[in-house]
A and B are shown apart, each in its own frame.
Chain A
Amino acid sequence: MESDRTFAEAQLLSAQLLYGRITRRAFLRRASAIGISASTVAVILDACGGGAAAPTATSSAPQPTATVVPTARPVNAGQPTAAGASSVAAATSPGAAASSVTGAAPTAAASAATAPAAGTPVVGGKLVIGDAAEPTGLDPGGLSGVDAYTLEMHMFDQLLAMDTSFKIYPWLATSWKLADDQKSYLFTLRKDVKFHDGTPFNAAAVKFSFDRIKDPAIKSSSAIAILGSQYDGTDVVDDYTVMVKFKQPFAPFIGGVTTAFMGIVSPTAVKKYGADFQLNPVGTGPFMFKEWVQKQQCTMVRNPDYKWVPEIFKNKGPAYLEQITWRFVPESGPRQALLDTGEAQIITAVPTQNVAKVKSNPAQQMLIAPRTGGPKWIDFNTAKPPFDQLEVRQALSYGFNRTELVKTLFQDVFPPASAPLSPPTFGYDKTVEGQYPYDAAKAAQLLDTAGWKIGSGGVREKGGQQFKLACLIGTSEEDNAIAQFLQAQWKPLGVVVDISVIAGPALKAAELQGQHNIDFKIAVYQDPDILGIYLHSRSIGGFNFTFYKDPEFDSLLDQGTTTLDPEKRKQIYAKAQHFIMDKALVLPIYYLNNVWAASAKLQGHFSDTAGYYWLYDAYLKS
């Protein structure tokens, strides 16, 4: 068995080969130089032949509604391998070696991510962001979703980092490997990291951060889904080494651990603030929390001690920007005005009807980043009529013209979607698209067959019940528009859509009770496990608002996470996607783009695979 050091180098080499950073010839040269056996080399070469890292799904939280979704990063690409290189060669089959190497990287997302602009960064400057949605709390492991992600990603660091092509890099962890049993990951940590409150970052902090996610008291919404149900605790091996354990092999983990929801929190601060930690976040990130005036703004300032920078960034020290202020402006009109008057340099959630105007303004730029994960979709509540019937769900799927919706309401800024995963996501299966082309006649026919006949007032009836759908939405303008569109589109079919606007967490509460027939969801995650997070029956009471229960489907989704071989995973998820669309569990609408606008002075920003913009490398041109 080769020594640990050799082993680590072998890992590094494999990774470099995997991500195409060295040629095969270079790999061979160096591998033999360190003394890796030929058979090992052969296996590795074989496994790495396919190419880049597997993209991982990032969970997304539905936007304005409070449902949070974990955001995961791409699954590890070849970093952790079984202990002992020879056992890599011997014991591990191509499948296992491949477990360290996950499938092909989608390059679409990579190209979509805007590269940092050229030019010398200007140090200093205070950035103001007009943010559409104020988070409920800033505890990454707690009640956090999409709204909180953009803030948390700048105040908390993770063990690993992922770049725009799904490659994994060390960050707070210098290296990691998958244990023999395929169920645990060993991380070696950096020794020079400090939290914003001065306390040192160490293995105990990692254990604390991960273990607390399972504690019901902190009400974790996203992190808990990233960790998954098989998380079995984290062990402190020594001050700077941890072992993260799972009861079953868990493929999404390495990608998941790069999401901001898995950010490392300061145990001292958590103990100090208790339940109020979400209002006083303390991490190790390039920006430190300064203050949060509820419903007004949240400010974070540059961390002067920051130097543990992962390779994905150009900057290697403290951030360029002196401070970032997030001003919470839920209405789009005033938010746009902030940008127009220069009071803010970035605004989020730009309504699509303003995009043309921003593009034609030389002082402004659009920031549009595609998101991995699921499309924006409509949940069908299968637990009660009328959507307990497959024909009805299929009928309304046929009766939905998404192309028209996207054109009318969103000026084609979002691509229409008819699959449950978005194209950049790992495991996306193209053949799923187009299963229910728009056909109003067919929709009507299916409804008739299902027993829903046109009754009085043009509304369909069955057994004395009218075809009336309860559509629950939040206060988002987009959801309101989509709901009204559905109303008008399905009215000729004899379907009545009744819209109820519920603000805040009350919406999720109502959905959890199944008060809706339809509601809207978004999911941002790089790993196809997002399908499991949203549609597994164990997620009923969590993220599953279709209330669909099928043990076979469940076990299919479970296989997707316990299978480490990327190719096999792809096949499993292809099956899952077809199943979802065959059973019309959800109705996809459009693929998500994160639509921001900024002053033309903003430089150095770029988006991650989930469409969130990094501002650590950003600066304001003078």
Chain B
Amino acid sequence: MSATEMPITTEATTILTSRVRASSLWRDAVRRLVRNRGALGGLAILAILALMAIAAPLIAPYDPNAIAPVSNLKGPSAAHLFGTDQFGRDILSRIIFGARLSFEVGFIAVGLAMVCGIVLGLVAGYFGHTVDAVITIVIDIMLAFPGILLALAIIAILGPSLYNLMIAVGISGIPAYTRLVRGTTLAAKQQAYVEAARVSGARDAAIMFRHILPNVLSPVIVLATLGIGSAILVGASLSFLGLGAKPPTPEWGAMLSAGRNYLSIAWWITLFPGLAIMVTVLSINMVGDGLRDALDPRLKR
């Protein structure tokens, strides 16, 4: 297809321009990211954890739910690197399988929050006026619930389970993305390419998703990355409280809850799952910080 055969519309030009703009931004960002050692370290740890989660059935030394009454409450040893719990279950194996659940919670909750937040934010920022006011009030209402109480209330309605937990954490995350996208959309609305697209008769939805979105995406990515860590923490907290995974699911927060009763007798039941959570969230935060510094050098210290 030659340029002369295909009429180059203004819309195509604007798309091309905005795309080029976006891609060069990305290339610079990646370059900066690679130079950030903390972020690389975090990425490496995450890669290992992800591998662990995927290959869980292959690398876990024991069945995570296999009860072995004979060897219960044994400390770390050669046979059980992280010791066993009150049922004789191998803690290392449970942590390995628990990684799957943590990532699931993180990705699904953030995915839900991100998608809803982007849509709401774009709509609010783009259309303004009443629509914006309504969405803003709704977001303010959601933000009026302190901490995990919104997630708590949602679980109260839906009932405790791991999937309901993901939904609850996801819904609680929507306001952050909405506000972010709304703010950047408001700014982007003033840009020339948006004006040009509108003039050329492009549909609202097209403008929002094809023009504006790519440009607001970078802070969203940062938020999402950090959000996965936050979702894992909140999810673990809710499971710890007994509002998430049901036994015998080897969810890290739930494991800590059980360890509470054996604190003075078997400290390893408490130490290792918590360590797993911390290492996971830490590496996510390092990558997220790195991404933020890479994508917006103005913010860098």
Given known A333-B261, A407-B69, A408-B88, contact A484–B246 (CB-CB < 8 A): no
CB atoms of A331 and B261 under 8 A apart: yes
Q: Is the CB of A489 within 8 A of B262?
A: no
Q: Is B81 an interface residue (CB 8 A)?
A: no
CA gap between A405 and B87 in the complex, in Å:
10
CA distance in complex: A91, B301 (Å) = 104
**Is A333 a contact partner of B260 (Cβ separation < 8 A)?**
yes
Q: How distant is B214 from chain A, measured CB to nearest CB, in Å?
A: 44
B149 CB to nearest A CB, Å: 18
Instruction: Evaluate contact between A499 and B247: CB separation under 8 angstroms.
Output: yes
Contact pick for B73, options A353, A404, A405, A499, CB 8 Å:
A353
Residue of B65, B86, B160 near A488 (CB, 8 A) is B65
Distance in angstroms from B142 CB to nearest chain A CB is 27
Would you give the shortest CB distance from A459 to chain B, in whole angstroms?
A: 14
Enumerate chain B residues within 8 angstroms of A354, measured Cβ to Cβ: 265
Given the contacts A484-B87, A487-B248, A488-B87, A404 and B265 also touching, CB distance less than 8 Å: no
Is B40 close to A, CB under 8 A? no
Separation of A488 and B88 alpha carbons in the complex (Å): 11
Give min CB distance, B39 to chain A, whole Å. Answer: 39
A475 interface residue, CB < 8 Å from B? yes
Residues of B near A480 (CB, < 8 A) are: 247
Contact with A along B246-268 (1 / 0, CB 8 A): 11100000000000111111000
B237 contacts which chain A residues (CB < 8 A)?
A: none
| A488-B246 contact given A331-B260, A409-B86, CB 8 Å threshold | no
* Cross-chain contact of B69 among A336, A357, A408, A498 (Cβ < 8 A): A408
Q: Kindly state the interface size class of chain B when it binds its partner.
A: 20 to 34
A77 to chain B, nearest CB (A): 43
Q: Does B242 contact A (CB under 8 A)?
A: yes
Query: Is A22 an interface residue when CB atoms closer than 8 A count as contact?
Result: no
Interface centre among B67, B88, B264 (most CB of A within 10 A): B67
**A351 contacts the other chain (CB 8 A):** yes
Judge whether A86 is part of the interface by a CB distance below 8 angstroms.
no
B158, CB-defined interface residue at 8 Å: no
In the complex, how many angstroms separate the beta carbon of A546 from the nearest chain B beta carbon? 24
Tell me, yes or no, whether A485 is within 8 Å of chain B by CB. Answer: yes
Residue contact B263 to A408, C-beta cutoff 8 Å: no
Whether A268 sits at the interface, judged by CB under 8 Å, is: no
Q: Is A559 an interface residue (CB 8 A)?
A: no
Closest to A340 in B: B264
* Chain A residues touching B, range: 20 to 34
Q: Which single member of A351, A357, A491, A499 contacts B246 (CB below 8 Å)? A: A499
Is A435 positioned at the interface, with any CB of B under 8 Å from its CB?
no
Which parts of A379-437 form the interface with B (CB within 8 Å)?
A: 404-405, 407-409
Is the CB–CB distance between A475 and B246 below 8 Å?
no
- Known contacts A409-B86, A475-B242, A501-B242; A488 and B263 CB within 8 A of each other: no
* B73: A residues at CB distance < 8 A: 353
**Residues 23-60 of chain B: 1 if any A CB is under 8 Å from the residue's CB, otherwise 0?**
00000000000000000000000000000000000000
Chain B residue numbers with a CB within 8 Å of A404 are 69
In the assembled complex, the Cα of A480 lies from the Cα of B87 at a distance in Å of: 11
**Beta-carbon contacts of B67-98 to A below 8 Å, as 1s and 0s?**
10100110000000000001110000000000
Contacting residues, chain A, for B66 (C-beta < 8 A): 488
* CB neighbours of B160 from chain A (8 A): 501
Chain A residue with Cβ nearest B260: A333
Given contacts A404-B69, A485-B87, contact A500 B260 (CB under 8 A): no
Q: A residues within 8 A CB of B262?
A: 353
A475 to B261, CA, bound (A): 13
- Which chain B residues border A351 with CB–CB below 8 Å? 261
| Residues of B close to A475: CB separation below 8 A | 242
Q: Give the most central of B69, B242, B260: most A CB within 10 Å.
A: B69
Q: Is the CB of A489 within 8 A of B86?
A: no
- In contact, A488 and B67 (Cβ under 8 angstroms): yes
| Residues of chain B with a CB closer than 8 A to A357's CB | 265
Q: Which residues of B contact A (CB under 8 A)?
A: 65-67, 69, 72-73, 86-88, 160, 242, 246-248, 260-265
Cβ-closest 5 pairs across A and B:
A408-B69, A488-B67, A484-B247, A499-B247, A484-B248
**A–B Cβ pairs within 8 angstroms, 25 of them:** A332-B261, A333-B260, A333-B264, A353-B73, A353-B262, A353-B265, A357-B265, A407-B69, A408-B69, A408-B88, A409-B86, A475-B242, A480-B247, A481-B86, A484-B247, A484-B248, A485-B67, A485-B87, A487-B248, A488-B65, A488-B66, A489-B67, A491-B65, A499-B247, A500-B246
